[in-house]
Amino acid sequence: MSSNEIALRYGTNPHQTPARMFVASREMPLEVVNGAPGYINMLDLLHAWQLVKELKEAVGMPAAASFKHVSPAGAAVAVPLSETLKKAYFVDDLELTPLATAYARARGADRMSSFGDAIALSDPCDEATARIIGREVSDCVIAPGYEPAALEILKKKRDGKYLLMQVDTDYEPQPMEQRELFGITIEQRRNDAKITGEIFGNIVTKNKELPDEAKRDLLVATIALKYTQSNSVSMAIDGQIIGVGAGQQSRIHCTRLARQKAINWYLRRHPAVLGLPFKPGLGRPEKNNAIDQFLLEDMLPEAEAVWLESFTEPPKRLNPAEKKVWVDSLQGVSFSSDAFFPFRDCIECAKQIGVKYVVEPGGAVRDDIVTQACDEYGMVMAFSGIRLFTH
């Protein structure tokens, strides 16, 4: 095997063999530390690595991402966790470093979607971060390096076959990129647009107060979209994604999806959820599934019978009015879109989950109508001028 090539187990599906990854003009900037990579592993890891690298550069804090099927389930920087969030993220029994905090946030954004995730870390993986990863169901990690204690923990996963990739932080790809599809090669300049706080300078609403925390959250949301399959929108608060709507053909459907994920994220902090009487020894994936079903508006009797087996006693479920009171208390959410809003419906939808700050490229025929909707709700909206489609 040459130094510019790494064999892959198989392609997108097991019958797609052989498969490999390679670079043409230099040594491979990746190293397999443990395990054997697959095609989908590398698609997720390479997208996720770019996200956390760019996020750390933009925000100046350690960053982490939880990736599934070439879109982030969660992404975050190392804003300290409250005791409530530590409990909701199942890390209240651990000492957390900044990097571990970033991954706990990224994993906690959408724990159902993060099951079996690909993980990207902006900094060398330390022991505290490895302890979180070691007890969650995940597929692989990419990082600039691994502390010896972290390696010892992670190499025990999957009977020693857990995939660990190390990346050269100095590697910069060529400006042009190619993709072969159906035997035809297409080429473009890679998306090297810089996402910095400067893109929020063109505020078009009457309310122009954009605090530093909101700028940080808009950076998290917008950089995440750069590596999310389009159409896409994302919502963020406290330095982390709380809802992503990815790969939908309609922007309002993206927004509804992101809103529902954000609602579920916030409801996981409700005392009724934090106090659920789980049976001793119930695993984290089973708890996540039980919480997800607990938050459903209705459930088939057969499913409810199985669900009740997760608890020592039947829990009292939240009614719609109780949920609404709780969700209405969430305010100050940041909302980013990878392309313009064609109608005001996305703004109205976002208002239902406490969105206060909005960024989108602008340039639509109905920009004035969207701006008017933001003004009606007292939102701050900036036109970035940068479309961030990913395909």
Which of 56, 68, 86, 226 is the catalytic position? 68
Tokens 């022991």 map to which residue?
127
Tokens 């008017």 map to which residue?
372
DSSP E strands in 37-129: the ranges are 63-68, 71-77, 117-121
Q: Check if 69 is active-site.
A: yes
Q: Which residues fall within 8 angstroms of residue 343, CB to CB, at 6 or more apart?
A: 252, 366, 369, 370
Q: Check if 47 is active-site.
A: no
Which of 69, 87, 253, 287 is the catalytic position? 69
List 186's β-bridge partners, or say none: 179
Task: State both tokens at 237.
Answer: 């608060």
Which of 231, 264, 323, 351 is the catalytic position? 231
Instruction: State the sign of the Cα–Cα–Cα–Cα dihedral 195, 196, 198, 203.
Output: positive
How is residue 160 annotated by DSSP? G
DSSP H helix total and E strand total for the chain: 13, 15
Which of 15, 316, 319, 391 is the catalytic position? 391
Q: Check if 34 is active-site.
A: no
DSSP E strands in 69-114: the ranges are 71-77
The secondary structure element, H or E, covering residue 97 is none
Q: Check if 68 is active-site.
A: yes
Exposed, middle or buried, 276 (CB in 10 Å: 0-12/13-18/19+)? Answer: middle
Active site residues: 68-69, 231, 391
